[in-house]
Structure 1
Amino acid sequence: MKKKKRRFFVNERLNPNTTPLNYDLFFEPDFKKLAFKGFEKIKINIKKKTKKITLHSKNLKIKKASVEGLKLKIKNFKKQEVVVLYSNTFLTGVVELEISFEGKTGDLKGLYKSDYLNKGEKEQLLTTQFEAADARSAFPCFDEPAFKATFNLSVLISENLEAISNTEIKKTELKKGKKLVIFNQTPVMPTYLLYLGVGKFEFIESSVNGVKVRVYTTPGKLKLAKLPLEYAKKSLAFFEDYFKIKYQLPKLDLIALPDFPAGAMENWGAITFREASFLCDENTPLANKQNSAMIIAHEISHQWFGDLVTMKWWDDLWLNESFATFASYKAVEKIKPEWKFNLHYLLDVVDQGLTADALISTHPVSVKVKTVGEIEEIFDAISYEKGSSVLRMFEDFMGEEAFRQSLHDYLKTHSYSNATQKHLWLSMKKIAGERGLQFNVKMIEEWVNKPGYPVVKVKKSENGFTLTQNRFTLLQDKKDSWSIPIHYQTVEGEGFITLEKNGFIQTTGSWVKLNLNQAGFYRVFYDSASLEELGVLIKKKFLKPVDAWGVENDLFASVRSGRVKLENYLNFIERFCDNVSYPLTDSILSHLSWLLLMARSKVEKTVTSFSLKTLDSIGWRAAPNEDSVNKLLRSKALTLLGLTGNWRAARLAENLFMKLKQKKKIDSNLKNFAIYIKTWFKGDFSELTLMYENELNPVDKIKFLTALGMFNDRKKLLKALAYSESSKVKHQDSFRIPLTVSSNPTGRKLLWPWVRKNWARLKKRNQPGTHFLGDYVAMLGTLDTYKELKELKKFFKNNDRDDIKRTIKETLERVECNAKFKKLNSLN
């Protein structure tokens, strides 16, 4: 009987018995044709004899392939993104595979072009973005994180261009008007970390502990590179000290790109950034400088978590991203203590994680993924912010030094290799044991392997407080429980318990504050009497700022989930939260902004009153040497006040905008406010688009573009939405106007009909491999009626795609939550 030929299934993993050892890889890009030719020699180890070799290949034309001089038969499986090479004889052991190939440049993925202006002239550069699965669109390869290998890269380019890769240039050879740039061999690493950039670059350079640190920009932007260089140097020094492991390469390049699909990418030794998120100087608004420092620290921490030690498969993406998020805030707190990044962490990370994980449609931090689309979708607030928050809880449980030593042990043990979460638990257990600490792996694992998180309900009883728990979601309570390490405070002092299903805290006092320092990843709902007691403590500033924030933030979550009426929340902040304190005041301003969108008639008076009190306390204009958080609060309060129609805020915005237009200097921290509120009150479409198109500073350029979604006029907003898809706007930035419209009180109801009408075009333009189509879906999460929910369900039933399935579920649930909130608070 003839043996049935085995099919190769879509998303099937590659054969682990055939592994790469080294890629000798050559590229010859063609700027005019937006194409490239390539040739590679891959040294592979075949552990079990076979007649076929399977590699990933996407949109590449394989010209020829051979192994040890023997020609191979080539068969492409386009849907599966693989190429299978067949031999007439069995292959085994270490062999050398040779492949010549051709390809076309991609759109913000693989090897792609980036356009920019140099002295008014349009120029191009070529750059790469391979994470998660796009190295295969640049060269045939074993495109999975477990297949680590070394790379010897060379590229043939015009003499007037420069090339950048992960390692230093070994040598350059001139060849008939071109030059062959040959790079040193890389460390062992996965394909997604390989980098190649070709174009006209300028750079500034310094060094840290013997490591060259350079910032590359396109021509004319070096003045915006000095501050990022300082952030990079200090971050690198911090992580070498924190991890107690030296950075492993002789150089670290940071490359600012005009076109980039994400904020940044941690290619080993050659980190890439979207220039608008990265470049800055002393005149840049504080929020943008902070964002730059944080992104730089995040990517540099990846040089250890992700690059030196890589997750075995994307299930454990969180081992890369949660740690980078956690570590980046530690670094910035050390580098710029005056910024109070330990407090920013609560707003940027903990709150974002809690909000995302409050959906029934959430996923565990460690989640099973198979398809490329599924992989792309887990680059989200669960893998980043929730995972980071859980790590912070582990740190609080173990102690800061024991936790840090665990990370050192994990990195040292698995350097140049792959790891899973079990390896991390082993390091934690080892260090805990050495210090005489208990370490319950089962308890730790449930925070990573289970979706969601608990809410602890506190009820006053005769001799203390009764505690119960269940899983918190915005739609309904779910029966579930966790082992929760609870740090608490009463009149007697601090205490610690591990809560299983329920528990009791004994005290003679009338109050208890759970989740001290907000170190735990859970919410706390207090009964009305306990909440009243805590409110008094907030007003008296008895509670620490972090704990005051925790009480308010959990209360708002109870309002959003329908467990507490809106009026109760408004009454609480009016009575107890009028003293300006960070992060409490910032949190309330954010919550009032959301309420202004959902319940304008009920909250407008409170929004106006709270914003005015905040501004009267910190001042309408910046004071010399003022606290950095006041600069952020001022802009936020002014913008919110402007949206209520306050004449004073409107006049200030108009005056500042006029100075901007006249190229006069203003408080840079008020640029957003000035542009947004001027547009809201008296926006001129032609004026704003002209300012956007003529602006050369990448940070300010984005501010003008984003403001086009702020018109208080439906016709202008529709015009702005059309403009977002025009050639005037970079593909990577086309989502920004719709995103602003989604939170515009006048415009958010326009977005859904516009997305529905333009869906086919949006879907075609935003192919899998970028997050952009999912962004358009997520923006619809500000809708708030059951009628809209029904329309969305019907539409997406036949208009989904593999890389947006999870986003659709989450968006539908958010809309249902909004509709429920409005119904419960009689807002329809």
Structure 2
Amino acid sequence: MAVSKVTVIVLVVLSLCAIVATGLLVYFFAGRYGDDDPVDVTNTTPTPPTTTPPSEVTDVRLPVHLHPTLYNIKILAKFDQENDYPLHGEATIDLACDSPGSNVTLHAKNLNVTSATVTTAEGTELAVSDRTYDPERDFFIAMLDEDLEAGKTYRIRMEYRGRLQRDLVGYYLSQYDEGDSTRNLAVTKFQPTDARKAFPCFDEPDFKANFSVSLGRPNGTNWVALSNMNSTGITGDTSEPGYVWESFETSVPMSTYLVAFAVSEFAADGANVSLAEGEIPFKVWARPEMIEFTQKAMEHGPAILKYFEEYFDIPYPLPKMDMIALPDFASGAMENWGLVTYREEYLLYQWNQTSAATLTRIVYIIAHELAHMWFGDLVTPVWWNDLWLNEGFASYVMYLGSERVEPNWSWMDQFVFSDLQDVLYLDSLENSHSISVEVNNPNQISQIFDRISYAKGASVIRMMSHFLTEKIFKKGVSDYLKAFQYDNAVQDDLWQYLEWAVGNATKPALPTLSALPGTVKDIMDSWTLFTGYPVVNATREGQTVTFQQKRFLLNPGASEKLTTLWYIPLNVIGSSNSTDDFDSTGAMAWLEKTGESVALGLPSEDEDWYLVNLQQTGYYRVNYDDGNWEALRAALAADHTVIPTINRAGLLDDALSLARAGLLDYRVALNLTGYLGSEKAYIPWAATIRNFNYIRGMIETTGTYDHYKAYILSLLRHVMTPGFNFPTLEEVPKDGNYTDVTGVMYETLIWTTACEMGEESCVDVTADLFKKWKDNYDESKPDEPTLNPSMKALVYCQGVREGGEDAWEFIYKHYNLTNYASERTLVLQAMACTNISKLLDRYLDLLLGEGGAIQRQDVSRAFAYIAANPHGRLDAFKFVRDNWDYLQATFGVGTAAFGRFITPFSSFNTETELALLEFLKDAHSNELGSAERAMEQTIESVQINIRWIGDNIDVVTDWLKMKNSVEVL
């Protein structure tokens, strides 16, 4: 076969590229993996054989011949032995036998069960012939000489030993500094599968039972023990000198992952609050030094709890509510029934230290966790495949609860940007997953604690509430919760109660109901059981708009494994409609799973433009015909307020995402952004900057970047008029009652973007503020307020970026002196802003080691900050490669944190970088564990980036050059 000259040249170029790539791969992968010793994770149970990777163990469910009815748990953790914190426990479990069996099998992990006896209800002891562990499944098995009989009750009593560890899961040790001393506390984090690390138990959500807990704690007036229920007081000394037992009322039926306890020297701020069934104590606990900063939690927590009583039409079922702010915690917060645990930065508020964005987060996280008292705690999914029923509902109604206590903070605007538009990116990958997804082992379970379960779950629930109407939605949800209270359910149970609510609704008052194309289950199954979401293509002819659907994928060349179609609620509005009509978010028509198109009429043939998906309540993107895109651009340029804020943000996000996927000419999408110089609202700007940051990441190392900066600055300079001054500390309301919190976020976003683009006025003012702060810093008062809390992140970052090694060392010193968790988070971000490689390397070194310089809870977050810096990206990759074993041992055992060391590499955009990732994946193919999906999604993202550069960089570059020439003229 003849070979052309062009082919020869191409082959030579490819060969040279391969040689370069091979050299880089040898450089990156020379040496062995994981030279650092892993953290001590010693098991007192046998370790799994290395020939059976955890990801391959699928049969992990407990046998079902027994179910627990009552636990009596006694746990004593000792604090007074240096570097060894032994845990002694007794677990007595009453069991109901549902079918014959010759064993008692339950979960235990990192526990040494020293004795186990099984008795009948009458007290007759049954012979235990063997006690075995199945470490691959965390099973403790007591084999019996005789069969258990169905219908009878039994009891197993176990004594066991363990120790408190520092791994932030199970019953773990936490520490904090108070003055010159280090204080200890022990606290729990059991979700999803770590109750088994604290006591032997049936550690699956379907095994609900009552719990009677006694905690051993030091005998001192400053020590307090907390659990889900109220304390019944001190019940006597333990066998350990200096320790006493504190016992608690028997709980309502609940799942093991919701059991919680804490032993600490914390203080409380609290009051009795009136709820539907009387007064209960409501307390917020924190380190004594921090207790004054609980006022926002105490102000909003009770009000939100009352709101959810009204919303769900069910009284809060427990006799008290405690919320506790922890110095280190693996999650943002956890919904343990009656004892909600939080990271300090997500519960404590100080007006001159906490940014408006963090205050917003505090409010909605409190609302999220209190919503779980009903959705998740009162009614719990049968299994983790329906985790989204917990998290999706809490992630939606938290905005409703937040709106009750802060009605002026544009919560639905925030929802659209932070949840709906955010998750649309992840869900546009082939390697996304369905909302309801089959999971088996703990690694798979931990992987679904992601944006799909939370944000997509919330988005489809919001969509459903709009097409059913809020009245019917609330009725169905309330009836479902009442029917399954103290029990478990699956998503079909919820669909059934919503269907009944539809059937019992008053039809004349709800005219849209007749348009439902199927049952609630039919409609919602298409959104929960299938991966991804659609793009709705809208084409206008005269007065008629025709709609068709197709799955939206960022990679237009991706081959779909199956043809996915959805039931899609449609609505449309024309330019002649009033802005009030944008609130009519019910379904005017439906695209159905048949794949057939559907048409809707506009008010007249003279409409200048039309718009679909009002208030972006539907979980889909919309692509218009060319004429309508141009008409929408013209409308925004003439008077953008004719389209409400949410839909302006939706148009920008859809257009730029469609262009990214090759479904819309990039020039059309970029032209739409031209009006932003007149935009004063937060989420249209935020949606645009998020999309522009992607373009920035693709071209930042090319000669095109100057054109990119020039265009962004041309928009910003229209916004940053002479009156647009840098906010001062005096502008921060001392009571935290912002009249317009998204307005503050808007100012922060504009200033931050301006500094990133090198705007002189921003660079100069931030440099001056950083210098003044540094020059007047008093180490004895490190948290003396001198900077606007909403602008500190920008000032710190710019100070480090411009100030070199001296500035970096100074801010790291501040990290070690500050007493505020939210302040440490800002410093972690700022430390990654340096462009000096040796400082980024030093920062990476700080992430290593038990009790290291960076708290374990913050390590993956700090790593992501470093990896986001182009100067640190490859060093971050080398860090993961060289420390794989340590990271896997420390963060990869049944938690989602391990994947966070992979996802930052989604910004890679060269074939060599792709090869690095693929080599890393292949080298550890049997030990990815909870990072398996993160690795697949990251590799897919890099493939998309490479394609984007090939398809779009010339078009985007030419547009930017043209636009900047016009601006100059």
Q: Give the TM-score normalised by the residue count of structure 1.
A: 0.96
Partner Cα distance (1:612, 1:754) in 2: 40
1:80-479 correspondence runs (5 A): 80-92=137-149, 93-106=152-165, 107-160=167-220, 161-175=223-237, 177-209=242-274, 210-283=279-352, 284-435=354-505, 436=507, 437-438=513-514, 440=519, 441-476=521-556, 479=563
1:406 deviation in Å?
1.1
**Distance change (3 Å), C-alpha of 1:617 and 1:775:** farther
1:135 deviation in Å?
0.6
Partner Cα distance (2:608, 2:425) in 1: 30
SS in 2 for 1:616: coil
Partner Cα distance (1:253, 1:65) in 2: 34
Contact 2:677/2:717 (CA < 8 Å) preserved in 1? Answer: no
* Residue aligning to 2:846: 723
SS in 2 for 1:339: coil
* Residue aligning to 2:674: 574
Choose from 643, 650, 654 the match for 1:550: 650
Choose from 672, 677, 686 the match for 2:793: 672
Partner Cα distance (1:576, 1:644) in 2: 16
Partner Cα distance (2:842, 2:929) in 1: 31
Choose from 756, 759, 762 the match for 2:887: 762
Return the letter of the residue paired with 1:302: H
Structure having greater relative contact order (Cα 8 Å, sep ≥ 6): 2
Partner Cα distance (2:887, 2:929) in 1: 15
Query: Does 2:781 align with 1:656?
Result: no
Higher mean C-alpha deviation, range 590-599 or range 538-547: 590-599
Return the letter of the residue paired with 1:777: I
Higher mean C-alpha deviation, range 431-440 or range 780-789: 431-440
Contact 1:536/1:576 (CA < 8 Å) preserved in 2? Answer: no
Contact 2:58/2:440 (CA < 8 Å) preserved in 1? Answer: no
Structure 1 residues 255-276: Cα deviation after superposition (integer angstroms, max 9, x where no partner): 1111110101100000001112
Structure 1 residues 557-611: Cα deviation after superposition (integer angstroms, max 9, x where no partner): 1122133354443332124663222321222233233332222314211222223
Contact 1:311/1:419 (CA < 8 Å) preserved in 2? Answer: yes
SS in 2 for 1:825: helix
* Residue aligning to 1:3: none
Partner Cα distance (1:593, 1:10) in 2: 40
Contact 1:352/1:386 (CA < 8 Å) preserved in 2? Answer: no
Choose from 799, 817, 826 the match for 1:703: 826
SS in 2 for 1:446: helix
Contact 1:709/1:744 (CA < 8 Å) preserved in 2? Answer: yes
* Residue aligning to 1:810: 937
Contact 1:464/1:506 (CA < 8 Å) preserved in 2? Answer: yes
1:499 deviation in Å?
1.6
Query: Does 2:85 align with 1:34?
Result: yes
Contact 2:677/2:718 (CA < 8 Å) preserved in 1? Answer: no
**Distance change (3 Å), C-alpha of 1:598 and 1:512:** same
Partner Cα distance (1:705, 1:180) in 2: 40
Partner Cα distance (2:87, 2:456) in 1: 41
Choose from 628, 636, 641 the match for 1:538: 636
Higher mean C-alpha deviation, range 417-426 or range 678-687: 678-687
1:319 deviation in Å?
0.6
**Distance change (3 Å), C-alpha of 1:610 and 1:211:** farther
Return the letter of the residue paired with 1:228: A
SS in 2 for 1:322: helix
SS in 1 for 2:719: helix
Return the letter of the residue paired with 1:499: L
Contact 1:280/1:289 (CA < 8 Å) preserved in 2? Answer: yes
Contact 1:362/1:810 (CA < 8 Å) preserved in 2? Answer: yes
**Distance change (3 Å), C-alpha of 1:713 and 1:377:** same
Contact 2:629/2:668 (CA < 8 Å) preserved in 1? Answer: no
Contact 1:132/1:376 (CA < 8 Å) preserved in 2? Answer: yes
Higher mean C-alpha deviation, range 591-600 or range 805-814: 591-600
* Residue aligning to 1:595: 695
Higher mean C-alpha deviation, range 102-111 or range 747-756: 747-756
**Distance change (3 Å), C-alpha of 1:177 and 1:349:** same
Q: Give the TM-score normalised by the residue count of structure 2.
A: 0.82
SS in 1 for 2:708: helix
| Root-mean-square deviation (Å) | 2.0
* Residue aligning to 1:506: 601
Return the letter of the residue paired with 2:362: S
**Distance change (3 Å), C-alpha of 1:645 and 1:806:** same
Q: Structure 2: 5+ residue runs without aligned partners?
A: 1-51, 120-124, 508-512, 582-586, 732-737, 777-783, 958-969
Q: Which structure has the bigger radius of gyration?
A: 2
* Residue aligning to 1:610: 715
Partner Cα distance (1:597, 1:650) in 2: 21
Return the letter of the residue paired with 2:951: L
* Residue aligning to 1:4: none
Partner Cα distance (2:445, 2:761) in 1: 48
SS in 1 for 2:62: coil
Contact 2:408/2:739 (CA < 8 Å) preserved in 1? Answer: no
SS in 2 for 1:315: helix
* Residue aligning to 2:35: none
Partner Cα distance (2:139, 2:723) in 1: 60
**Distance change (3 Å), C-alpha of 1:74 and 1:700:** same
**Distance change (3 Å), C-alpha of 1:123 and 1:731:** same
Contact 2:271/2:283 (CA < 8 Å) preserved in 1? Answer: yes
1:626 deviation in Å?
6.7
Structure 1 residues 444-473: Cα deviation after superposition (integer angstroms, max 9, x where no partner): 211111111100112233443332210001
Structure 1 residues 143-192: Cα deviation after superposition (integer angstroms, max 9, x where no partner): 00000000000012211221110000012134253221010001100100
SS in 1 for 2:64: coil
Return the letter of the residue paired with 2:929: D
* Residue aligning to 2:24: none
Partner Cα distance (2:865, 2:323) in 1: 30
Contact 2:70/2:93 (CA < 8 Å) preserved in 1? Answer: yes
* Residue aligning to 1:640: 753
1:86 deviation in Å?
1.1
Choose from 655, 667, 681 the match for 2:802: 681
1:71 deviation in Å?
4.4
The sequence identity of aligned pairs, in percent, is 28
SS in 2 for 1:337: coil
Higher mean C-alpha deviation, range 576-585 or range 367-376: 576-585
Q: Structure 1: 5+ residue runs without aligned partners?
A: 1-6
1:768 deviation in Å?
1.3
1:664 deviation in Å?
4.9
**Distance change (3 Å), C-alpha of 1:481 and 1:664:** closer
Contact 2:293/2:350 (CA < 8 Å) preserved in 1? Answer: yes
Partner Cα distance (1:173, 1:521) in 2: 55
* Residue aligning to 2:916: 791
Higher mean C-alpha deviation, range 698-707 or range 240-249: 698-707
1:503 deviation in Å?
2.1
**Distance change (3 Å), C-alpha of 1:626 and 1:91:** closer
Return the letter of the residue paired with 1:179: V
